[in-house]
Amino acid sequence: MADEQQTSSTGGAPAQSRGPGDRGGRGPGGGGRDAGRKYFRRKKVCKFCVEKIDSVDYKDTRLLGQFVAESGKIVPRRLTGVCTPHQRRLTAAIKQARNIALLPFSGRH
Amino acid sequence: MQRTYELMFIVRPDMPEEEQERLISTLESSVSGAGGTVKNVERMGKRRMAYVVRRFQDGIYVLMILEAPGNVVREVERRLRVTEPVIKFMTVRVDEEQKRLAKVKALRQARARKPAPAAAPEAAASEEQPAATV
């Protein structure tokens, strides 16, 4: 509970500070309350942090499949909102799963 | 040095049940004979592979959890490589990850037990830091 409050406060502060300059570049998770634009973007949160999933297992294809595009590619962080430490573990797990034929290297063969 | 490994291998889908059992038991005996222990054997059954391997679309997955030194893993892998019905295998070392998980779990429990005193000094520290840099 305590860390949730902390992450929201620390996540909010840099977003607000970079808000005005970054808006033209359409940064990920930008568009705060003060944007007043058409493009209102909800702040993405890391699924693994929210659900408190510590280990990313290569055997859990249901979970990994959510972060793999139709083509078999790993979906980038800027689209899924996964935080850097978890994306790193996720990437490693996806690559392991590919090696043991649980996930495809590329879409359809 | 005893380490924990997860050994996953796939055998061809047309392999008879008794031959699978024989393969698993020979692997187990070779592990225990070389100074390791087999913690668990999970037969995950036949499932569709994500891509074609040696012209097979399906495979029978088996997961073994070993506690053994590294040279035992090397020997088991060599054995799997020469076993014809085995079409794919992978060994993953998991003890470091388990250690990390235990640490995270302990930290979380400690925080849940007394949240107020732990959170207060941290919040104060995070507020002080930006002030100090400016």
ipTM of the complex model: 0.74
Asked if residue A103 and residue A59 are part of one domain, the reply reads: yes
Three-class secondary structure of residue A7 per DSSP:
helix
In this prediction, residue A108 carries a pLDDT of: 65
- Distance separating alpha carbons of residues A103 and A38, to the nearest angstrom: 38
CATH label, B3-97, candidates 3.90.480.20, 3.40.50.300, 3.30.70.60, 3.20.20.70: 3.30.70.60
Asked if residue A36 and residue A23 are part of one domain, the reply reads: yes
pLDDT band of A38, cuts 50, 70, 90 = low
Please name the helix (run of DSSP H) or strand (run of DSSP E) that holds residue A16, with its range, or none. Answer: helix A2-22
Is residue B7's pLDDT more than 90?
Answer: yes
Interface list for A 50-109 with B (CB within 8 A): 52, 54-55, 58-59, 96, 98-105, 109
Contact B69, B36 (CB under 8 A): yes
pLDDT band of A21, cuts 50, 70, 90 = very low
Asked if residue A63 and residue A19 are part of one domain, the reply reads: no
Q: How far A102 CA sits from the closest chain B CA (Å)?
A: 5
How many CB pairs below 8 A link A and B?
Answer: 47
Asked if residue A65 and residue A23 are part of one domain, the reply reads: no
Give domain limits for chain B: 3-97
Look at residues A42, A46, A28 and name the one whose alpha carbon lies nearest to residue A84.
A46
Task: Please state the domain count of chain A.
Answer: 2
Asked if residue A58 and residue A22 are part of one domain, the reply reads: no
Asked if residue A88 and residue A37 are part of one domain, the reply reads: no
| pLDDT per position as a tens digit, A47-75 | 888 888 888 899 999 999 999 999 999 99
Give residue A17's domain range. 1-43
Asked if residue A63 and residue A15 are part of one domain, the reply reads: no
